[in-house]
Amino acid sequence: MFDKSIEVIFCFVSSLAALEIIEAIEAISNGTSSVIVSRKRPSEGNYQKEKDLCIKYFDQWSESDQVEFVEHLISRMCHYQHGHINSYLKPMLQRDFITALPEQGLDHIAENILSYLDARSLCAAELVCKEWQRVISEGMLWKKLIERMVRTDPLWKGLSERRGWDQYLFKNRPTDGPPNSFYRSLYPKIIQDIETIESNWRCGRHNLQRIQCRSENSKGVYCLQYDDEKIISGLRDNSIKIWDKTSLECLKVLTGHTGSVLCLQYDERVIVTGSSDSTVRVWDVNTGEVLNTLIHHNEAVLHLRFSNGLMVTCSKDRSIAVWDMASATDITLRRVLVGHRAAVNVVDFDDKYIVSASGDRTIKVWSTSTCEFVRTLNGHKRGIACLQYRDRLVVSGSSDNTIRLWDIECGACLRVLEGHEELVRCIRFDNKRIVSGAYDGKIKVWDLQAALDPRAPASTLCLRTLVEHSGRVFRLQFDEFQIISSSHDDTILIWDFLNVPPSAQNETRSPSRTYTYISR
């Protein structure tokens, strides 16, 4: 039936198309091709009957037969006819799926599609029509956008905790929190906060807090680590002091080492410290009780790192010790790495590499799994005092007063940063910045991304120099909101770039409050 009827229809269509093609050629030859007038049908009555017959046959066919017929029909038409058909089909093919989905009871799909938009696109989507605005509002999509940022960006996460709006996020029931309009107005406030923080970093605006650590025998704070609740510091007077991060009062003093506490690291269970008395001690972070003492190195333990059951220590005795750390009381020596020709000042590691730096001017790379030597990074002109390693990047500081950035995989030096006037004693970096402290008493903030760009001029790399310490800077740690540093001047300084008072907005140095702890 289909084949027979299609032959009849094509005979009719072909005659119409032929007539239209002839008229088009005549129009072109007469110079009137810019406007082609619709052709008059030769017999209006016959056309209507033939059209009705075509439609009758068409309606009797299956969908696939109908599609096949239309394809044949289009293939027999000329170019300008294709243009008319395209103009006719275009609006028919457009679908407002965001409006159509809720009509089918599929609101959740419309919400899910729009939830992938960024803030600028979400603003534009709200203006499309009332239905799109309703889907965004009832789907709480501004809330979901903020939650996505908090999950993926540490700056957003930290800001949510410090500003208190984390209490409105990740609620199971929509009735547990404010309406979508609250989050819609919250978003630009968050962006303004982030821009202010970035500006404060670049301009050096900060609120400064100072902890005085002086006691009778102390002449410096060699190391520190902090979290939201506390600061733990290692001092030259052989003690470890734990400070409340809010009140800045000393909560506890741990004693046991017979030499200066040169390095430390802690987690939720233990504090591990290394000392000039050549020992490593493990303490209960909550009670302060000594849980273990490791006696291995022959001279001062200069640095240590531990993570995921592995600990690495290094010493003035030129060696590196790799330990299996099953628990606080079950720590066994796996391997001793020997290769440096002077004191090993610092170590860092991940699952792939152990990285060490020494007074012999070299950085050595070792396999974490096998403890075998991999390569040496050469370039510093004098001994290396500090480094940090993450992913492919190693950043090191030296007594040649420079900072070097290295690609650990090929050993290439990517950039040399110059600016400190004395030995660079401590260095940390994140995805945006490098922060360094030196024996010149200065802390410098560098643009990491610019430093990794070989086209960036050297003059643009140092964002800010912070000068408050009156002695050598021994150690620092930082996050998106603050730097905490310690010094030979017996102080711990907290440089807060978030809570900057309005009076300091036009200043680079801000008023400080000082807390003094006197040991008894």
Q: Which distant-in-sequence residues (6+ apart) come within 8 Å of 396 by Cβ?
A: 357, 363, 377, 380, 384, 386, 387, 403, 404, 406, 427
CATH code, residues 205-500: 2.130.10.10
Q: Strand order in 462-467's β-sheet?
A: 424-429, 433-438, 442-447, 462-467
- Pairwise CA distance, residues 350 & 307, whole Å: 8
Contact 423, 438 (CB under 8 A): yes
Model pLDDT, residue 250: 95
Report d(CA 398, CA 64) in Å as an integer: 76
pLDDT at 219: 84
Rg (CA), the chain: 36
Helices (H), 400-500: 448-451
Give the Cα separation of 429 and 446 in Å (integer): 9
Query: What's this model's pTM, rounded to 2 decimal places?
Result: 0.80
- Between the alpha carbon of residue 398 and those of residues 288, 361, 412, 423, 437, the distances in Å are 34, 8, 17, 6, 11
The widest CA-to-CA distance across the chain, in whole angstroms, is: 116
Q: How many angstroms separate the CA atoms of 107 and 369, rounded? A: 51
d(CA 287, CA 78): 89
Alpha-carbon distance values, 150 to 154, 170, 187, 361, 430 (Å): 7, 10, 12, 42, 18
The answer to whether the beta carbons of residues 431 and 448 sit under 8 Å apart is yes
Tens-place pLDDT, residues 494-520? 999 999 988 766 654 444 443 333 332
The amino acid sitting at 500 is V
Distance between CA 306 and CA 274 in Å, rounded? 12
Per-residue tens of pLDDT for the chain, all 520 residues: 556 555 655 555 554 444 444 344 444 444 444 444 445 555 566 888 888 888 988 999 999 999 999 998 899 999 989 999 898 888 888 777 788 888 778 888 988 888 999 999 999 999 999 999 999 999 999 999 999 999 999 999 999 999 999 999 988 766 667 899 999 999 999 999 999 999 999 999 999 999 999 766 778 999 999 999 999 999 999 999 999 999 999 999 999 999 999 999 999 999 999 999 999 999 999 999 999 999 999 999 999 999 999 999 999 999 999 999 999 999 999 999 999 999 999 999 999 999 999 999 999 999 999 999 999 999 999 999 999 999 999 999 999 999 999 999 999 999 999 999 999 999 999 999 999 999 999 999 999 999 999 999 999 999 999 999 999 999 999 999 999 999 999 999 999 999 998 876 665 444 444 333 333 2
The token pair that represents 314 in the structure block: 């290094």
Structural contact between residues 486 and 472, judged by C-beta atoms closer than 8 angstroms: no
Which residue do the tokens 């110079």 mark? 31
3-state secondary structure of 50: helix
**pLDDT of the residue at 103:** 78
Q: Answer for the pair 90, 117: CB distance below 8 angstroms, yes or no.
A: no
**Tokens describing residue 213:** 């650590």
CA nearest 482: which of 159, 83, 44, 72? Answer: 159
The whole-angstrom separation of Cα 488 and Cα 470 is 8
Residues making up the chain, counted from first to last: 520
For residue 107, the model assigns a pLDDT of: 82
List CB contacts of 5: < 8 A, sequence separation 6 or more.
Answer: 57, 60
For residues 467 and 403, what is the distance between their CA atoms, to the nearest angstrom?
Answer: 19
Give the contacts of 169 (CB within 8 A, at least 6 positions apart): 143, 146, 147, 150, 160, 177
State the alpha helices, DSSP H only, in 428-520: 448-451
At residue 174, the pLDDT reads 62
Same fold, 104-202 and 205-500: no
Angle at 424 between CA 420 and CA 428, to 5 degrees: 105
CA-closest candidate to residue 300, choices 340, 270, 328, 261: 261
CA distance 389 to 407: 10
- CA–CA distance, 139 with 102 (Å, rounded to integer): 12
Q: Where do the structural domains in the chain lie, given as residue ranges?
A: 1-93, 104-202, 205-500
pLDDT reported for residue 12: 52
CA distances from 170 to 140, 148, 156, 165, 180 (A): 11, 10, 14, 11, 14
* CATH fit for domain 104-202, picks 1.20.1280.50, 3.30.450.40, 3.40.50.360, 3.40.50.1820: 1.20.1280.50
Q: Are 496 and 193 in contact (CB under 8 A)?
A: no
Give SS3 for 402: strand
Tell me how far apart the terminal alpha carbons of the chain are, to the nearest angstrom.
108
The pLDDT score that the predictor gives to residue 438 is 98
Determine the pLDDT at residue 505.
64
- Measured in degrees and rounded to the nearest 5, phi and psi for residue 301 equal -85, 110
Q: 311 has which bridge partners?
A: 306, 323
243, two tokens: 């400070």
